[in-house]
Amino acid sequence: MTATNPALAVDNISVSVRSCFEVSDLTALATDDGEEAQAIISFTDTINQGANYLLEYKLSSESTWTSVSNITNPYTLTNLQFGSEYNVRVKTICSATESSQFVSTTFNTPCASLTAPWTEGFEAGVYNSSNCWYYANGELTENTNIEYVTDYVWQISGNPIEYNGTNKMYYNLWGSNKHKWIITPTINLGDTNTQLYQFSFDIAAHDYSNSNATTFEGRQNCSSYFYR
């Protein structure tokens, strides 16, 4: 009896002897030394004795891998791009004819610090951490606990506050217990403590769910000054 399109199929069963095994607990810790982004790659191998390791990495947006042979554990990747997502994988090399499968992970490098003077008008859009802005939820109290989130309650819209540029970031605020933050990238103010800085921004409010209003009520420019 012959059947077509079976609902369950089993094929190619085999039993083999293995002597070269995959590493475990592969991690990538991204760092920033001030000049470039780096990543410390580490893993665990308690099975393979005297093995070597092949590491390959690439930007997630690319298809070509860069290979590094005979790495130490841990191993530091250097000259990485700031604010980028990378793929990394490690294979155990036991001999010229024996090797394991790759074990893979993904990591994001930190963003390059901005330098003053700096201005952001949201003309190019700010949506998520890939361009080094972050969204967070939490109340500013004595024991502040800010939690980074991915529910993008802040949105970009046309019709800027006042007449500078074409865009703004807005948030539909309802209720009195909403603490939604949009956080800038790190701004490097240098090592001096004699420089006076001004931090300022425009803020405005109007009736709920009306992001395309042509006028804003209560428009203000907020500023603070500090030494660094």
Domains of the chain in start order, with CATH, are 24-108 (2.60.40.10), 114-227 (no CATH)
Rg (C-alpha) for the chain, rounded Å, is 26
**What's the length of the chain?**
228
The sheet with strand 52-59 has its strands ordered as 66-68, 52-59, 85-93, 103-108
pLDDT (0 to 100) of residue 113? 79
From CA 195, how far away is CA 192, in angstroms rounded? 7
Q: Does residue 6 have a cis bond before it (omega within 30 degrees)?
A: no
DSSP-assigned beta bridge partners for residue 93: 52, 99
pLDDT in tens, 49-83: 899 999 999 999 999 999 999 999 999 999 999 88
Q: State mean pLDDT over 81-86.
A: 89
pLDDT (0 to 100) of residue 176? 67
CB 85 within 8 A of CB 114: no
Q: State mean pLDDT over 87-97.
A: 96
Give all strands (DSSP E) within the chain, no chain letters.
24-32, 37-44, 52-59, 66-68, 75-80, 85-93, 103-108, 114-115, 134-137, 147-149, 155-158, 167-170, 180-183, 187-188, 196-205, 217-227
CB 169 within 8 A of CB 156: yes
83: closest CA among 120, 126, 20? 126
Structure-token pair, residue 70: 């005979």
Coil vs helix vs strand at 131: helix
pLDDT (0 to 100) of residue 135? 74
Question: Which strand (E) or helix (H) includes residue 112?
Answer: none
pLDDT in tens, 14-39: 887 778 999 999 999 998 876 789 99
201: closest CA among 120, 86, 126, 104? 120
Q: State mean pLDDT over 128-151.
A: 65
- Kindly report the pTM of this predicted structure: 0.62
The per-residue pLDDT of the chain, averaged, comes to: 80
Higher pLDDT, 201 or 47: 47
pLDDT band at 152 (very low <50, low <70, confident <90, very high): low
CB 216 within 8 A of CB 161: yes
Higher pLDDT, 3 or 87: 87
